[in-house]
């Protein structure tokens, strides 16, 4: 297992390297001069030239990339000019909020999706199967940001059951019940599509397993149906479900960008949008690379979990 994990970590290195190249090139191709955007009304030719020299923007593109990469490998992500603080400090502070939102959404989509898929497979062509299929199709079809806006309109504006935006109440609050109250709508909106995908794949995986001979043998021996489904079928189906969960983790993490904007959630996604608008290059580059690294590491963890369920994967 140790050698398998090591191989997966080594294989992640070129992926992360490619991400840094792509992010750096995209940010370099954005129209406009960063120094002019930073200086604003003070953007005289002399000031722009001096700031470009201070930021290293007067150097060749390749040289700038390797300077940035070398600094990042030593833990120095640079300094955000718009916030006047280290990039890494801002990312870590914002990532905690994103982790709460994305983590809750992922747990919801994993539990509800697997449970719905298992029930749907166990009651194939029955009423429960048809209802779950209908709900799943609706969930997959509605974009998360649109669902979020509709939830705000219904549950916050019309019914006034839940707060409109933010992570905590402006006045008072700040405790766990306040956080949960603010988390219900964004987490549900973000989890809707992922839950539908997981449910459909779980149903397919469960149906394939339920047709196997050892399942029929277990039923013939008089094993209780709940144990057949949860103890035998679901465990075998998880080998096919876990990779889907890894993919949906990436969807949830990337989807947090627009959900955070809809609900004004103070996470990395909202930070990246604000940084792009202000042309804060180092903050954008550092944020994207950090999120991509987290996604790559999570997928390695998913591969390890899958190999524990099915040792043949390591060979």
Same domain for 113 and 226? yes
* HEC assignment per residue over 277-296: HCCCHHHHHHHHHHHHHHHH
pLDDT confidence of residue 190: 92
Three-state SS for 87? helix
Give the domain extent around 146: 88-313
State residue 115's pLDDT score. Answer: 93
Write down which residue in 29, 59, 87 finishes a domain.
Answer: 87
Evaluate whether residue 5 is within a structural domain.
no
Asked whether residue 7 is assigned to any structural domain, the reply reads no
Query: Residue 152: its pLDDT value, please?
Result: 93
Are 209 and 65 contained in the same domain?
no
pLDDT at 246 over 70: yes
Whether residue 42 is predicted with pLDDT greater than 80 in this model: the reply is no
Q: Which of 62, 87, 112 is at the close of a domain?
A: 87
Confidence of residue 315 (pLDDT cuts 50, 70, 90): low
Kindly tell me if the per-residue pLDDT of 272 is higher than 60.
Answer: yes
Strand partners, 79: 86
Q: Burial of 213 by CB count in 10 Å (0-12 exposed, 13-18 middle, 19+ buried)?
A: exposed
The pLDDT tens digits of the residues spanning 121-144 come to 988 889 999 999 999 999 889 888
109 and 244 inside one domain: yes
Give residue 260's Cα distance to chain centre: 12
Of 25, 30, 4, 17, which is closest to residue 280 (Cα–Cα)?
30
Q: Is 129 domain-assigned?
A: yes
Instruction: With a cut of 80, say whether residue 312 has pLDDT above it.
Output: no
Answer yes or no: pTM beyond 0.95.
Answer: no
pLDDT of residue 51: 76
Listed residue (95, 204, 145, 274) closest to 153, CA to CA: 145
Q: Is residue 3 part of a domain?
A: no
Q: In this predicted model, which residue has the larger pLDDT, 255 or 38? A: 255
Mean pLDDT of the chain: 87
Region 139-162: mean pLDDT is 91
Give 313's contacts (C-beta < 8 A, 6+ positions apart): 303, 306, 307
Pairwise CA distance, residues 99 & 95, whole Å: 6
User: Quick one: 71 and 135 in the same domain?
Assistant: no
Same domain, 134 and 213: yes
- 207 shares a domain with 121: yes
Domain assignment present for residue 283? The answer is yes
- DSSP code per residue over 131-155: HHHHHHHHHHHS-HHHHHHHHIIII
Choice among 12-21, 30-39, 71-80, 109-118 with the minimum mean pLDDT? 30-39
Q: Among 149, 147, 159, which residue's Cα sits nearest to residue 191?
A: 147
Least confident of 52-56, 92-96, 234-238: 52-56
Give the model's pLDDT for residue 132: 93
Find the CATH number of the domain harbouring 169.
1.10.3720.10
Residues 257 and 278 in one domain: yes
Q: What's CA 238's distance to the chain center, in Å?
A: 21
Q: Which of 54, 87, 120 is the last residue of a domain?
A: 87
150 lies in some domain? yes
pLDDT digits (tens, 9 = 90+) for 157-192: 999 999 988 888 877 667 888 899 999 999 999 999
Higher pLDDT, 207 or 281: 207
**Residue 33 reports pLDDT greater than 80:** no
pLDDT digits (tens, 9 = 90+) for 215-224: 888 888 888 8
Per-residue confidence (pLDDT) for residue 127, from 0 to 100: 93
User: In the chain, how many domains are there?
Assistant: 2
Q: What integer is the mean pLDDT of 253-282?
A: 87
> Would the pLDDT of 251 be above 60?
yes
């Amino acid at each position: 297992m140790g050698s398998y994990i090591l191989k997966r970590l080594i294989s992640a290195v070129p992926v992360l390297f490619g991400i840094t190249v792509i992010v750096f090139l995209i940010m370099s191709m954005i129209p406009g001069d960063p120094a002019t955007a930073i200086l604003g009304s003070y953007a005289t030719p002399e000031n722009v030239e001096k700031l470009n020299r201070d930021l290293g923007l007067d150097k060749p593109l390749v040289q700038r990339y390797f300077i940035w990469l070398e600094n990042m490998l030593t833990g120095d992500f640079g300094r955000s000019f718009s916030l006047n603080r280290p990039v890494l400090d801002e990312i870590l502070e914002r990532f905690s909020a994103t982790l709460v939102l994305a983590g809750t959404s992922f747990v919801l989509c994993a539990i509800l999706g697997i449970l719905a898929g298992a029930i749907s497979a166990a009651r194939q062509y029955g009423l429960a199967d048809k209802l779950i299929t209908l709900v799943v199709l609706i969930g997959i079809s509605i974009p998360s940001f649109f669902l979020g806006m509709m939830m705000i309109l219904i549950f916050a504006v019309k019914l006034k059951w839940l707060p409109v935006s933010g992570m905590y109440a402006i006045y008072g609050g700040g405790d766990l019940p306040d956080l949960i109250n603010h988390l219900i709508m964004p987490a549900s909106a973000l989890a809707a599509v992922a839950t539908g995908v997981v449910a459909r794949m779980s149903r397919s995986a469960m149906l394939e397993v339920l047709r196997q001979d050892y399942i029929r043998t277990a039923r013939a021996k008089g094993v209780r149906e709940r144990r057949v489904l949860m103890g035998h079928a679901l465990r075998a189906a998880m080998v096919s479900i876990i990779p889907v969960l890894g993919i949906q983790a990436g969807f949830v993490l990337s989807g947090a960008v627009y959900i955070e904007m809809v609900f004004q959630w103070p996470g990395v996604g909202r930070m990246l949008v604000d940084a792009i608008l202000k042309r804060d290059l180092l903050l954008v580059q550092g944020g994207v690379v950090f999120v991509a690294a987290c996604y790559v590491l999570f997928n390695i963890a998913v591969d390890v979990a899958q190999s524990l369920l099915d040792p043949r994967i390591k060979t």
